[in-house]
Amino acid sequence: MSNVQAVKVQFLFDFGSPNAYLSDRVIPDIERRTGVKFDYVPVLLGGIFKLTGNASPAETLKDIKNKRDYMTIETARFLRRHGITGFRSNPFFPVNTLQLMRGAVAAQALGLFEPYFRAVYHHMWEEPKKMDDPQVMRSALTASGLDFDLIAAKSQEPAVKSRLMELTQDAVNRGAFGSPTFFVNDEMFFGKDQLRDVEDEIVVQLGAAKPRVAAVGGSAP
């Protein structure tokens, strides 16, 4: 096994998290610099909140003076730092993402994950729509060239529903309490602002995974 293969990096996402969207915009640069590909793992953020007693910032920060304003400033800084220009706040936020996340699991099973993922994020955070409205979802994904009926039918299969719940429970079991969450092997990181630490950890683990080369006429120390 190569050192790259020895480092497993997972990105636990829910389409309803704007910070997960912003993280996805940065991940390709990290993949290019490190040579390590991220595994995209769908989880249900509402399920994680229920299992951990957590809540969305819209709830937890509503009565806290100044913090929401600061988060807006911090997001603007992140956008500038990474040259992200297409992001738009969704006026329908928060959006119930249950069907969208089941669709992500279904799309993975159908080999359609990449176009589905890109289409949903486009309609959530670039040309924002109320994506928990079934007709809006259908129109948006069909306009993006996806077979909505195929994905929708697959998403209703018991195995797909169970898989999303399993991934969500596994995330909590490993320590997750929100999205975006990242795992570099067993090291957990939370939030888009930890991506620099994620990259640092990848580099550290790549170095640790390098095979030792025995000296001529002797053995490796």
Read off the tokens for 14: 């829910």
* 53-80 residue pLDDT tens: 887 766 666 777 888 888 889 999 999 9
Would you say the C-alpha torsion 134, 12, 91, 47 has a positive or negative sign?
Answer: positive
Read off the tokens for 29: 């640069």
Confidence (pLDDT) at 211: 60
Q: Which amino acid is at 127?
A: E
Average pLDDT across the chain, whole number: 91
The strand pairing partners of 40, in sequence order, are 11
Placement of tokens 């169970």 in the chain: 162
Confidence (pLDDT) at 219: 37
Q: Which amino acid is at 103?
A: G
Q: Is the pLDDT of residue 21 over 60?
A: yes
Confidence (pLDDT) at 119: 98
Distance, CA of 35 to CA of 31 (rounded, Å): 5
DSSP state of 215: P
Read off the tokens for 111: 């080999």
Mean pLDDT, rounded, for 105-124: 98
* 141-190 residue pLDDT tens: 999 999 999 999 999 999 999 999 999 999 999 999 999 999 999 999 99
CB 112 within 8 A of CB 146: yes
Query: Higher-confidence residue: 221 or 133?
Result: 133
Interstrand relation of 187-190 and 181-184 (parallel, antiparallel or unpaired): antiparallel
Distance, CA of 201 to CA of 220 (rounded, Å): 25
Residue percentage of the chain with pLDDT more than 90 = 81
Mean pLDDT, rounded, for 41-60: 86
Read off the tokens for 71: 């988060």
Residue 199 burial by Cβ neighbours in a 10 Å radius (0-12, 13-18, 19+): buried
Q: Is the pLDDT of residue 136 over 90?
A: yes
95 band by pLDDT with thresholds 50, 70 and 90: very high
